[in-house]
Amino acid sequence: MHEPPDRQTEYRRPGDSISNTRIALLALGLLVLVVGLFAGAGVLVRQTDTSAQPVAVRATPTPAGVVPSRNPRREPDLDVGTPVEQGVFVQIARGWTKQTYDHLGIRVTSFERGAEARFYVVTNPVTSLPLLRPDVDAFAETQDLRDVQYGRAVSVPPPNLNVVEAARISFTGRRTEDGLVYSLAGECLRLRGAPKVNDVSVSICFAAYLQDLDAVRAEVRQMTGSVARSI
């Protein structure tokens, strides 16, 4: 018998079911990939947003050896060495000995070179230049100097920004010791602190045997530098 002409028999090849399964798996994988991309983009956006938050900045600590000032200073206040007065310090150079100390300052000596230096602090400072010759006179009297000759009093550049005024004068004189006459030379220097920082005036005078003047001057200026950094 023959089947009716309007009905047809369906035939499937053996690989048809496997192909359909692969297509389904590929579609599912593609869906997962798309979802993952959108999720990753969301995380990226959130991370970008949080990176815009302000970041705390740690304060820089005060360097060791720098004493924080009670007053607003233009440069760090380095209080190192032997106290003089009113927050002023001096680092005494090697080969020098501290002899006396009073409420105004200190005196240091280098005996074998006939050298002496005095560091005094004045709490009611005035203009430095007119005070240099009186400083020489007072210092020469303590040194038993006679026939004192004065150099020219001149303004010099302040050693740092905490000092507003500096002036110097040189001098020579003679001193008699054990019947012998010695020629000496030296300098007096005035440093004035900034009025709103440390309104003081520091007087520094020294003298030495003429043949030792250059070496002594260099050492006193080294000590003077430590004084200036503490003003």
The pLDDT tens digits for 74-124 are 666 677 788 898 889 999 999 999 997 777 789 999 999 999 999 999 887
In which band, very low, low, confident or very high, does the pLDDT at 197 lie, cut at 50, 70 and 90? confident
User: 89, 84, 42, 123: which is closest to 226 by C-alpha?
Assistant: 89
Residue 5 has pLDDT above 60, yes or no: no
In which band, very low, low, confident or very high, does the pLDDT at 155 lie, cut at 50, 70 and 90? very high
Burial string for 18-30 (b: 16+ CB within 10 Å, else e) reads eeeeeeeeeeeee
Residue 148 has pLDDT above 60, yes or no: yes
pLDDT at 60 (0 to 100): 46
Q: What is the Cα–Cα distance from 56 to 191, expressed in whole angstroms?
A: 43
DSSP states of the chain: -PPPTT-------TTHHHHHHHHHHHHHHHHHHHHHHHHHHHHHHHHHHHHTS----PPPPPPTTPBPPSS--SS-B---SEEEETTEEE-PPTT-EEEEE-SSEEEEEEGGGTEEEEEEEESS---SGGGHHHHHHHHHHHTT-EEEEE---EE---SSTTEEEEEEEEEEEEEEETTEEEEEEEEEEEEEE-TTT---EEEEEEEEEGGGHHHHHHHHHHHHHHHHHH-
Residue 141 has pLDDT above 60, yes or no: yes
For 10-56, the pLDDT digits (tens) are 444 444 454 555 555 555 555 544 445 445 445 444 444 444 454 44
The mean pLDDT of the chain is 78
> Mean pLDDT, to the nearest integer, of 121-147?
93
pLDDT at 126 (0 to 100): 83
Residue 206 has pLDDT above 50, yes or no: yes
> Mean pLDDT, to the nearest integer, of 188-206?
91
pLDDT at 194 (0 to 100): 86
